[in-house]
Structure 1
Amino acid sequence: MLPQIKKMKRILFSFLMSFAFLNVWAQIPNGYYDGATGLTGAALKTKLKEIITNGHVDHGYNGLYTGYQTTDRDYFYENDGTVLDMYSENPNGPDPYNFTPGNNQCGSYNSEGDCYNREHVVPQSLFSSNAPMVSDIHFIRPTDGYVNGKRSNYPYGKVGTASFTSMNGSKLGNSVSAGYSGTVFEPNDAFKGDIARMIFYFVTRYESQLSNFNTGNMLGGSAYPGLQAWELNQLLAWSAMDPVSQAEIARNNASYTFQGNRNPYIDHPEYVNQVWGTPVVDTQAPTAATNLTAGNPTANSIALNWTAATDNIGVTGYDIYVNGTFYATVTGTSATVSGLAPSTTYTFYIIARDAAGNSSAQSNTATGTTLAGQTGGGTSCGTENFETITVVADAYNTYNWTNNGITWTSTDSRTDQTINNKAITIRNGNLSSTSISGGIQSLTLTTQLKFTGSSNSLNVQINGVTVGTIPYSSTVTTTTISNINISGNIVIKITNPVSGNRVALDDLSWTCFSTLGTAEATKDKAFAIYPNPVRNHELYIKGENLAKISKAEIYDLSGKLIETLINPFKNSNKIQLKGVTKGNYILKTDYFTTKFIVE
């Protein structure tokens, strides 16, 4: 029985220590919020600023680590006294790693779990690292250095597609918070209210200085409301969703003992709504997208268009489904679905989403059929989805990998950013292939600008010759370059010409091409075309019963319909070509299909 008694004593001691920690500073000082009663809006915010400015003692930037010894200890989840880190704490299970107070301070870091440092929830770059803001413990938390670096100085918001996800589910990516489309950082749900109340503290304590701070796409330029509208709405929603916790109360009490002032929005959560109003909780789903159509087929792609959905606050994106399987999310009302098989029928539908995550009903279903692969071009020849990259790193370097018999090399690139799972991100470098057989008729690529920078275009070279450009922006975009028309062995090279822009590349695909001979064979030997190549835009057909052909269609090798002729040979055996330029084309009739060249 002795070991069990000892175990019971250890458990009781741990409980008593935790209880003591929670209650050493358990009370709000009498009269602390005198004068705030009955006030609302800007007047209440200004009064709270006066209250929490009085008594504030600045212990300096280095003093924060001393403060963390009592303000940020885990006596609430694992109850082990380690550093309570918002970016690594797993509120629903064992932490992926822990930091010992005073022993794991950064220093340098290369990955999660290396060390912890000081995270300014409001970035110090916005106030030029000036005192007392730079050392105010109420909004500066100890967090994993690597994740802190990933967050950088981005505002907090709801992430759509994550470019980085920490071990506890904190995310960096494009914003789907209503009113803002830039890059944001989204913390674990358990700490969203904590972060909201820390930012509310900041814009209250320093309201008279906000006009001199940079906004960082989060702060306002005046004392009231103190935040940009989109950020205020997001933080109000988070504050309501994640109420004040015992960990926050204990931290507020310990911070008061250390620094001499308090966070009023932890002591009185009702002040949040009294200052800024009740948040609007969006529970209304968008309407369904309508008039979805599928058209302009090629051998491996189909274009979609639809009429926009509507929402009480705003639609943030559209999920595309192909044969019932999720394909991609786009922000516009059109998209090209690529990577499809030739001569195959596909069904499509769209689901609209808003910033709150509400999803619409399914749109109408559209059906489209890809064209048959052609021996002269249009057949899917190769793909590169970057999934065989084995090294995942944020360091810019040269990387090599092999997929489907092709070896790829990327220079000045990183491998940790994503679009559709893995991607390669080019900074001042390029992506190039080894020699590929089969030629190339068209090339399709998905891009997205990561981090900061401006929209621009990548250069695409085949065998050292530029054949077109691929645009990129912060929005995921898929682009096809058609009519490249190069036969034989090829080398693909994609270059980022803009120094400093970091562009992610994903889902690269291309179609084959081979030069057509002058004695082009037809599907039916009873018919022949001449001359081939065509000159003077006059194409002649030789064969029996030409007058019985009811329709002729002319396509380019991307599958785009150029011209339709009804009863084309009723009066002659000649077609006068219209709307065609130099290149390769397909003639399709009731009886035969053949290819021809226009010089």
Structure 2
Amino acid sequence: MLALDLEEGSHIMGVTASDGNQSVTQSFTVTVTTEVETANYYDTAYGLEGGQLKAELHEIIDGHTELSYSQVWDALKVTDEDPNNPNNVVLLYSGESRSKNLNGGNVGDWNREHTWAKSHGGFGTARGAGTDIHHLRPTDVQVNGLRGNLDFDYGGAAVAGCDGCLRTSSSWEPPNEVKGDVARMLFYMAVRYEAEDPVDLELNEQLNNGSAPYHGKLSVLLEWHEQDPVSEWEQQRNEKIEDIQGNRNPFIDHPEWAESIWSAS
């Protein structure tokens, strides 16, 4: 038996059989994944529910490598790379593919959207919550400005430059294609940042949370989580983020845990 030590990813293999007169070669692809490692990652969380599950997941994903805000630029060029064009990133909300080189603050550029608005808890762009790429996404500068620090809910007026986005004075509704993505990013933040951290983030049923360390609207986020299931894009992004900052989003790996933690809220 031949044993091979292969890196994660896809590998094209070939096997040749010969009887001395003629030979036949068969090619095939071997894919190496980290499913077992991912299962082990959550060993201590299995069987738990509610607050106990939330607390244990916090312990598992706590202590990640914290980036500087300037390092986030390069990280997003990796995590949000367009699979159909490696020179571009895919923008949150608008879904547009835009050149990696157009990062900045001018019209036509993309910048670093804090899905959990950085004013909700006042963590700004400090290492930790302010630079955690699990909730930072490339977004069109103008769309980012219109979203501002609004909480998430249904309804509102159409947003220029963002098909499917709706906005009121107190809420933001993203397109259907990324509703679940938004929900799972906020679930992650509410578990990752707890009382012993510089900021303790929690989800609630309110709009206009302002500078308080809360984000709404929880019931709506749970609906979006169900309506827009985890995509292959999110799974791949989760893997890339683990490579960069060393932790995972549990709600991408185990979507059922959101209901377990927040169903009674």
Normalising by structure 1, we get a TM-score of: 0.36
Verify the 8 A CA contact 2:120 2:209 in the aligned structure 1: no
1:313-324 matches, within 5 Å, as: none
Q: Which of 40, 43, 62 is 2:49 aligned to?
A: 40
- 8 Å contact from structure 1 (residues 41, 276) kept in 2: yes
Aligned partners of 2:61, 2:210: CA distance in 1, in Å?
19
- Map Cα deviations across residues 72-123 of structure 1 (whole Å, 9 max, x no partner): 0122xxx22321112221xxxxx5xx3111x1011322xxxx0100000011
Aligned partner of 2:200 in structure 1 is 210
In 2, Cα distance between the equivalents of 1:192 and 1:144? 17
Paired with 1:37 and 1:74, the residues of 2 have a C-alpha distance of 34
Report the counterpart of residue 430 of structure 1 in structure 2.
Answer: none
Give SS of 2:120's match.
Answer: helix
- Aligned-pair CA distance for 1:69: 2.4
Instruction: State the partner residue of 1:84.
Output: 90
- Whether the 8 Å contact between 2:104 and 2:111 is mirrored in structure 1 is yes
Q: Structure 1 pair 145/260, CA: closer, same or farther in 2 (3 Å)?
A: same
Mapped to 1, the partners of 2:79 and 2:145 lie a distance apart of 22
Structure 1 vs Structure 2 CA RMSD? 2.9
Which of 59, 67, 82 pairs up with 1:59?
67
The alpha-carbon distance between structure 1 residues 259 and 199, as it changes in their structure 2 partners (threshold 3 A), is same
Per-residue CA deviation, residues 366-408 of structure 1 (Å, 9 max, x unaligned), is xxxxxxxxxxxxxxxxxxxxxxxxxxxxxxxxxxxxxxxxxxx
Q: Is the contact between residue 82 and residue 89 of structure 2 (CA under 8 Å) also seen in structure 1?
A: yes
Q: Is the 8 A contact 1:153 1:216 kept in 2?
A: no
Instruction: Tell me the residue number matched to 2:128.
Output: 132
1:267 pairs with 2:253: yes
Distance 1:276 1:24, change over 3 A: same
Structure 2 residue 114 is matched with structure 1 residue 105: no
What is the distance in 2 between the residues matched to 1:37 and 1:219? 35
Which of 232, 242, 246 is matched with 1:256 structurally?
Answer: 242
Report Cα offsets for 1:331-368 as digits up to 9, x if no partner: xxxxxxxxxxxxxxxxxxxxxxxxxxxxxxxxxxxxxx
Identity of aligned residues (%): 36
Matching residue of 2:161: 166
| Equivalent-residue separation in structure 1 for 2:249 and 2:155 (angstroms) | 27
- Between Structure 1 and Structure 2, the one with more strand by share is 1
Amino acid at match of 2:57: L
Aligned partner of 2:117 among 109, 112, 123: 123
Distance 2:164 2:184 in 1: 20
Equivalent-residue separation in structure 1 for 2:254 and 2:201 (angstroms): 27
- Map of 1:157 onto structure 2: 153
Q: Distance in 1 between matches of 2:93 and 2:219?
A: 23
- Tell me the CA shift for residue 133 of structure 1: 0.7
Change (3 A) 1:271 1:243: same
Aligned to 2:5: none
Distance in 2 of aligned mates of 1:250 and 1:185: 26
Report how far residue 169 of structure 1 moved: 2.2
Aligned match of 2:26:
none
1:420-459 matches, within 5 Å, as none
Number of residue equivalences? 228
Q: Does 1:49 align with 2:55?
A: no
Identify if the C-alpha distance between structure 1 residues 26 and 150 changes in structure 2 by more than 3 Å, giving closer, same or farther. farther
Q: Which runs of 5+ in 2 are unaligned?
A: 1-9, 12-30
- Cα separation, 2, equivalents of 1:219 and 1:43: 29
The corresponding residue for 1:467 is none
Q: Which residue does the alignment assign to 1:141? A: 137
| Residues 165 and 172, structure 1, Cα contact 8 Å, conserved in 2 | no
Superposed displacement of residue 200, structure 1: 0.3
Query: Could you tell me which of 232, 237, 252 is aligned with 2:218?
Result: 232
- TM-score, length basis structure 2: 0.77
- 1:30/1:243 CA distance change after superposition, 3 Å: closer
Closer/same/farther in 2, CA of residues 218 and 25 from structure 1, 3 Å limit: farther
AA of the residue aligned to 1:171 = L
**151, 168, 185: which one aligns with 2:172:** 185
Distance 1:185 1:168 in 2: 13
**Structure with larger Rg:** 1
Distance 1:211 1:59, change over 3 A: closer
Amino acid corresponding to residue 48 of structure 1 in structure 2: L
Return structure 1 stretches of 4+ with deviation > 6 angstroms.
219-222
Q: Which residue in 1 is equivalent to 2:184?
A: 197
Change in Cα spacing, 1:25 to 1:258, as seen in structure 2 (3 Å) is: farther
The equivalent of 1:523 in structure 2 is: none
1:211 & 1:80 partners in 2: Cα distance? 36
Question: How much has 1:131 moved relative to structure 2?
Answer: 2.8
Q: Distance in 1 between matches of 2:155 and 2:232?
A: 27
Tell me which residue corresponds to 2:27. Answer: none
1:487-532 per-residue CA deviation (whole Å, 9 max, x = no partner) reads xxxxxxxxxxxxxxxxxxxxxxxxxxxxxxxxxxxxxxxxxxxxxx
Please tell me the residue identity of whatever aligns with 1:154.
L
Answer 1 or 2: higher relative contact order, Cα 8 Å, separation at least 6. 2
